[in-house]
Structure 1
């Protein structure tokens, strides 16, 4: 028994030595705000008033995360319907005013602060009606829906956006937030069209490709009617001539994996075991770009276990916690059945004026897992770049 324990300890130390988290930070959620309609009225909040209905980042909060918390990654959400208004349709023609607002946020993160930025079309692989996201809108590429944008149009959009950022090494292309309720072969087709267009545009940066079923890690290797084949089976067929694509995974810790409940009761390590084995078997890398939990002490262990698991398994190259962003106010991105506890935004307050999730979850739980050395130089990559500590 003593010998077995010794071997196990050596194996764990070796695994930790091999593992590398190159990127760590937060999801910036507010750019997708302002389009909700209780009556599902198409076009509500579009294009919306920047700074009133939606925003991308608060620059002073980004300063805190980079300068004090030493993170190097932000995932910035936006709506396709604002970048490509309904009058234009999805494609290469942009609302330039809206694009400029978005580019300003990206450039502040990458050029001013020297961090990396995931571009996040927060559309659930849908376009034309975000009035009750995540359920409204036509599935991109669904040929049975005459209102749906085509797979080719999705590729055109990504070719245009990537072309505009191809010289910014610190950009990461997150192809789509949480595709769901569609055949996985269509997720693959849309992903492939985007990858092809990005590379044709001359952009060589890291791409993050989602699976089906909300790109949940716990279900990535599973298939069932309406979700066939499995995300793992389909995405093995995704081709990138630059070999610089990682798998985009979300993993929440509550009863239905939605992140909408106060209680944490799902083991991240146990639920990620199958997809991690698949990544290892196929020499693939992944990022977990959404995860989180409430500020109760009961959730702290679940969040810590998930972060430690990523640290211990070299298949994971980075993470962004859900969520910061200037428009959350006292609302809690972690759990809609809770009182309003605030968000991961620095300075966030709960509705009763007590500290928000930045203080209770980020500082108390997540901060300890931000590696001392992260990638601060070089093109975004599955292999990382120059690892260094961020100076004071």
Structure 2
């Protein structure tokens, strides 16, 4: 089994910031032509197939983790590329909203997925790579406990299987396995295991227990789709 190559330096700074999906939808495929060269890693460098080193400078554009419609996402994408000169945009996503389990959704995630596709297309057409980041999970319970958790869960595998199949080998797309896992051992981070955390929902503290999925398992799920996109593990 191949082990995750840690990308300690991602060259991104932060601005101020299948089986379980409700219905199958047509997946986008990698474009025949892209304004961006595909990247791979050589040591600490991002490198094109032509051997050129690329330095990525970018920002985090939040809101799609907490709302399916996002908050002026496409305007923000345009501004960050045209005004700030970014060539990398980190887009936080919610595994529940991807499949339409947000309380505000009634379309099985179709509009959310279309917005994600529009962001990827805008980045590709204007010279910016898109880092799709799994930011919010659910403690292995669809539609419940939607938010930031200590670790990803079984539903996170389903999320990455779908996202990776849609965007596999897209030159503009990078995959970020999970946002800010914390308070765990390195072994649990890599291999997963039983996980208990205290989660506040609607003002009530809940003792939440679930099987945390290790980052190696998420990485393997992505690679099993045939996707060779850069994977960021942190």
TM-score per shorter chain, which class? 0.5 to 0.7
CA deviations 1:48-94 (Å, max 9, x no partner) are 5x2xxx337133x333332343221000112111113459xxxxxx6
Q: Compare the two structures and name the one with the higher helix fraction.
A: 1
2:156 is aligned with 1:154: yes
CA distance in 1, matches of 2:84, 2:151: 38
Q: Compare the two structures and name the one with the higher strand fraction.
A: 2
Distance 1:68 1:98, change over 3 A: closer
Distance 1:121 1:104, change over 3 A: same
Match of 1:165 in 2: 167
2:220 is aligned with 1:196: yes
Report SS of the residue matched to 1:164: helix
Answer yes or no: is the 8 Å Cα contact 2:95–2:137 preserved in 1: no
Distance 1:158 1:84, change over 3 A: same
Match of 1:29 in 2: 62
2:107 is aligned with 1:74: no
Structure 2 residue corresponding to 1:100, chosen from 100, 114, 127: 114
Give the C-alpha shift of residue 167 in structure 1. 3.9
Give the C-alpha shift of residue 202 in structure 1. 1.4
Structure 1 residue corresponding to 2:133, chosen from 101, 107, 120: 120
TM-score (norm 1): 0.35
Report SS of the residue matched to 2:217: helix
CA distance in 2, matches of 1:163, 1:103: 13
CA distance in 1, matches of 2:162, 2:72: 20
CA distance in 2, matches of 1:105, 1:127: 27
TM-score (norm 2): 0.56
Unaligned stretches of 5+ residues in structure 1: 1-17, 35-47, 88-93, 141-148, 211-392
Report SS of the residue matched to 2:221: helix
Larger-gyration structure (1/2): 1
CA RMSD of aligned residues (A): 3.0
Answer yes or no: is the 8 Å Cα contact 1:155–1:196 preserved in 2: no
Answer yes or no: is the 8 Å Cα contact 2:81–2:87 preserved in 1: yes
CA distance in 2, matches of 1:124, 1:97: 19
Answer yes or no: is the 8 Å Cα contact 1:121–1:177 preserved in 2: yes
Give the C-alpha shift of residue 184 in structure 1. 3.2
CA distance in 1, matches of 2:79, 2:112: 26
Match of 1:3 in 2: none
Answer yes or no: is the 8 Å Cα contact 1:72–1:116 preserved in 2: yes
Match of 2:229 in 1: 205
Unaligned stretches of 5+ residues in structure 2: 1-43, 46-52, 103-107, 192-213
Answer yes or no: is the 8 Å Cα contact 2:123–2:129 preserved in 1: yes
Match of 1:177 in 2: 179
CA deviations 1:127-147 (Å, max 9, x no partner) are 54446x446xx854xxxxxxx
